[in-house]
Structure 1
Amino acid sequence: MTAVRIITVKTVVDRIEDGGAGIKLFTLVDPDRWELPPFKPGAHIDLHLANGMIRTYSLCNDPADKTRYVFAVKREADGRGGSIHLHDDVRPGDVIGVSLPRGGMQLPLHLSRLTFVAGGIGVTPFLSAAAQLRRLGRDTFTLHMITRGPPPLADLLAPLIESGHVVIHDTAVAGRPDIAALIGPAATDGGIGCCGPESMIGDFEQTAQDWSAEHVHVERFVAPPLPVDPQARPYTLVLARSGRDIAVGPGESMLQALTALDVDVPTSCCGGICGACKVGWLEGEPVHRDRALSPAERTRSLLVCVAGSASDRLVLDL
């Protein structure tokens, strides 16, 4: 079996708190209370759970809080089992291996006005961003929290509501607000972000078309379906380190081809939004279909769960 080398950090569950209806807030620390690897606002970590699952969550604490990783988990009864395991089986004192944090939001100083739109549990990455912005004295931001009934993580939102940085939109009372009215017209000195249900993100992306891509940040917790490519054709994967050649058939994913031949690649979302299956590529012309890698990252990496190849031969750093 060929395996991707995975770097994980050993952490211990320090606290598990109630985050609202069906939500738990987890705090991880180093076993000896050393500092953890740094992260950007709203960065992701992969949890390598005891049952073999790998699940990805956004950090919601201040990046200056270097001794903790805090994340929220909504229990999804019809999900893939990760949230149920965390809610039902994980206890304080349990050991969890986590990946190095990746991704997160860029909050450049030249953006004088920031507007975030969050739906439900999608508020988590913006809590991290808000904590950093307030600590640095950058108070010109607004977080629009769209929820049905009481908002999740009410204790974390309370000081932001009191300071006027969070506006609650209860759809049970007035329906969902107009996204365009919330973010306003495109601005060279503004930045916008969204995380929530796919329908909300779709409206947001439609509204954000006039904005510079560098000023728009979108987080997804459900991968959108990958459209069928009628032009798909076979190609060969070459694993540079092991010297293996792997044939990938039309319509077959790179991940399926690798897994069928016992090449062990870590996966979580399997839809190109989390980045857990990032692999380096060395030669060829990959087709990037993910929503996680930056343009710079795509020059050297791809996500095997959704990537394809425009060339007959694609060499991976495996």
Structure 2
Amino acid sequence: MKHVQTVVREAAPAGPGVRRLVLADPDGWPLPKAKPGAHIDLYLPGGLVRAYSLCGDPAQADRYVVAVKRETAGRGGSAFVHDALAVGDALGVSLPRCTLPLAPDAAEHVFVAGGIGVTPFLPMALAAERAGTPWRLHLLHRDAPPLPDALAPLVETGRAVLHDTARAPRPALASLLGPAAPGRHAYCCGPAGMIADFEAATTDWPAGAAHVEHFVPPPLAPDPAACPFTLVLARSGREAALPAGAPLLPAIRALGAAVEASCEGGICGACRVRWLEGPPLHRDRVLSPAERERDLMACVAGCAGPRLVLDL
């Protein structure tokens, strides 16, 4: 598992309850390239691993920029970033992963964000602008928006529209998205209720034209197709008998294989593993149907057959 060592070059407020970090290589070298819409994991003290979207200009190869909202009911990661992390501190991060890429064949992009969910769309909007692809950004927020300095030039062009739901009712997402149209792709990142409304508004859109990224993993109900199975690690030959519905990630680790993990809820893409024999049960929100033919997300996957053989 490859980690990148960075140092905090800047740390400053960026809207209510939001802290913006600029991370750089300690010696000033370019960082591994990130696609617009990508995120990285921050490796924090106490074994905390937290994923945050990159929100800086994707053309700036010498830095990663993240914006962290303080979560009062969180598990301690955002509190550490706000209260303890200082300019000059060393910070390990993961290689960038992109589970919300810009559709390469799109004729138009429509982004809908809720609060701090705007972060992945800032670099995506810049990339679309440079590619000459039309785009629109709708940000729904309460009172002052996050990252006002980054949003200001986009608002001035009229491409980004702010909707303060403390002053007016939340607009219907269908009215912001418009109807399905050839080449139109829509993207949403925000709280669970907004994503549910977005998915309802795009139910009749063509397959693959609507894209979402979750703040937190959605709850997963037991899968009735799960059955007892033997987990096999192909490279070591180690195996274990598991009951139906048993979590896969701890079993893999108990057999001695190291698998990266962050959200442990099927939304970040960190624990991607190639499977060789199955069939697996896919319960993630990351992999496409084609990707599921060869890969699974170990944090939420199960098995619908007697054996699950992984390339580990």
Bin of the TM-score, shorter chain as denominator length: over 0.9
The percentage of aligned residue pairs carrying the same residue is 56
Counterpart for residue 236 of structure 1: 230
Structure 1: tracts of 5 or more residues without a match = 1-5
Contact 2:192/2:214 (CA < 8 Å) preserved in 1? yes
Query: Which of residues 25, 30, 35 in structure 2 aligns to 1:35?
Result: 30
Tell me the distance in 2 between the aligned counterparts of 1:192 and 1:54.
Answer: 29
The superposition leaves residues 31-75 of structure 1 with CA deviations (integer Å, 9 ceiling, x where unpaired) of: 111111111111011122233211111111122111111111111
Contact 1:40/1:103 (CA < 8 Å) preserved in 2? yes
| Paired residue secondary structure (1:305) | coil
Deviation at 1:311, TM superposition (A): 1.6
Counterpart for residue 71 of structure 1: 66
Query: Which of residues 174, 189, 194 in structure 2 aligns to 1:180?
Result: 174
Tell me the distance in 2 between the aligned counterparts of 1:273 and 1:110.
Answer: 24
Tell me the distance in 2 between the aligned counterparts of 1:109 and 1:200.
Answer: 25
Contact 2:231/2:309 (CA < 8 Å) preserved in 1? yes
* Paired amino acid for 1:82: G
Counterpart for residue 96 of structure 1: 91
| Paired residue secondary structure (2:45) | coil
Structure 1 pair 98/160, CA: closer, same or farther in 2 (3 Å)? same
Tell me the distance in 1 between the aligned counterparts of 2:132 and 2:257.
Answer: 48
Deviation at 1:175, TM superposition (A): 1.3
Tell me the distance in 1 between the aligned counterparts of 2:109 and 2:217.
Answer: 25
The superposition leaves residues 259-315 of structure 1 with CA deviations (integer Å, 9 ceiling, x where unpaired) of: 555654332211100011112212221111100123343232211111011221111
After TM superposition, the structure 1 = structure 2 runs for residues 49-128 of structure 1, keeping only pairs within 5 Å, are 49-108=44-103, 110-128=105-123
Q: TM-score, normalised by structure 2?
A: 0.94
Structure 1 pair 148/38, CA: closer, same or farther in 2 (3 Å)? same
Give the alignment's Cα RMSD to 1 decimal.
1.7
After TM superposition, the structure 1 = structure 2 runs for residues 258-297 of structure 1, keeping only pairs within 5 Å, are 258-259=252-253, 263-297=257-291
Contact 2:225/2:304 (CA < 8 Å) preserved in 1? no
Contact 1:41/1:104 (CA < 8 Å) preserved in 2? no
| Paired residue secondary structure (2:60) | coil
Deviation at 1:195, TM superposition (A): 0.4
* Paired amino acid for 1:285: P
Deviation at 1:213, TM superposition (A): 2.9
Counterpart for residue 26 of structure 1: 21
* Paired amino acid for 1:147: H
Tell me the distance in 2 between the aligned counterparts of 1:305 and 1:104.
Answer: 16
Q: TM-score, normalised by structure 1?
A: 0.93
| Paired residue secondary structure (2:8) | strand
Contact 1:116/1:142 (CA < 8 Å) preserved in 2? yes
Larger deviation, residues 184-193 vs 106-115: 106-115
| Paired residue secondary structure (1:192) | strand
Counterpart for residue 3 of structure 1: none
Counterpart for residue 8 of structure 2: 13
Query: Which of residues 209, 218, 221 in structure 2 aligns to 1:224?
Result: 218
| Paired residue secondary structure (2:127) | helix
Counterpart for residue 200 of structure 1: 194
Deviation at 1:155, TM superposition (A): 1.0
Deviation at 1:257, TM superposition (A): 2.8
